[in-house]
Amino acid sequence: MTACADPPPVTPAPYPETGLVLLSLRDGTRVASASIGSDLVAVIVSEDGKTAYLADSAPGDVYAVRVPSLQVAWKQHVGGAPFGLLLHQKRLFVSLFSAASVMELDPSNGKSLATNPVPQGPAAMTEDAGGHVVVAGTGGELSVLGGDSVAAGNGFGVAEVGGRLWSADYKRSELVPAGDDHRVRLPLPVFPFWLAPGAGTSLLIAAEGGTEDTDPGGVFSFDTVSGSFQILATPKDPDQVLFAGSTIYVAAHGDQDVLAIKSGLRKVWASGAAAVGLAADPALGFLVVAVNAHE
């Protein structure tokens, strides 16, 4: 008689060291993943949800990737350590951190359309209330493409909340409203890296600890009207925070996972994935995660 035994448990395939992961927006289940690039730092998604755009910093490349197949549609070498990505008026804007410029690409094929010189260290980008592209930088100002620069914090993040632009001063652990000498100290001694609009008049902040990969950082919600903070989580090296639907998502790179925070409850998604960037894709029901174990 042949002995019967339970089959061994199925071990999920590891997440790519560098690439994209698609998670279900409903429950965080992994839908697909693919190895792409070698030093990913950012991801955004087209309005129809069918294309993800990636910034691959060290090689200086930008990718367009089809969703959900995760097949590369095009790859464009831009140099200059691409950092931030923004889709605006049918163009893909790419900030080049080490080249003091912002490139404009054709989203359909990656063709270069224009280059805009900006001050040193251009990083994240957003649109202001007037529909202009605004670029954060490490020179203590926000650059408005086609307009003037505005005094701001010396850092990487920018977000528009309630018709007002907010920046961050990385080394001083402060939030700085654009064009204002008013500064707001963070409630913990951490260093603000990423800003994003939250619900209503709230500003979301992802901040790194003193030793980026090992010390606890902080994820906060700041009410820009009342001036009050809420500490949402203290993961290691939170690289990005994103509000989508009714959930706050955090790319917790140091903890190698994604946090999903809703109604005060925190869930861990994609455990083992070195998340650095996030983009919501409600059209197709995905959370698109850029991972980079080498960052």
Sketch out the chain's domains with CATH numbers.
20-292 (2.130.10.10)
| CA 95 to centroid of chain Cα atoms | 13
**Residue type at 277 in one-letter notation:** G
Cβ(24)–Cβ(282) below 8 Å: no
Give residue 2's pLDDT.
Answer: 46
140 close to 151: Cβ distance less than 8 angstroms: yes
Per-residue pLDDT of the chain (295 residues; tens, 9 = 90+): 444 556 655 556 689 999 999 999 999 999 999 999 999 999 999 999 999 999 999 999 999 999 999 999 999 999 999 999 999 999 999 999 999 999 999 999 999 999 999 999 999 999 998 999 999 999 999 999 998 899 999 999 999 998 999 999 999 999 999 988 789 999 999 999 999 999 999 999 999 999 888 899 999 999 999 999 999 999 999 999 999 999 999 999 999 999 999 998 999 999 999 999 999 999 999 999 999 998 7
Identify the pLDDT of residue 123: 97
Closest CA to 175 of 162, 158, 161, 163: 158
Q: Does residue 263 contact residue 243 with C-beta atoms inside 8 Å?
A: no
Per-residue CA distances from 167 to 73, 151, 157, 244 (Å): 34, 10, 6, 21
Q: 228 and 241 in contact (C-beta within 8 Å)? A: no
Residues in the chain, overall count: 295
> 213-232 burial, b for 16+ CB within 10 Å, e for fewer?
eeebbbbbbbebeeeebeeb
* pLDDT at residue 240, rounded to an integer: 98
Q: Does pTM surpass 0.85?
A: yes
Q: Which two tokens stand for residue 161?
A: 């909340």
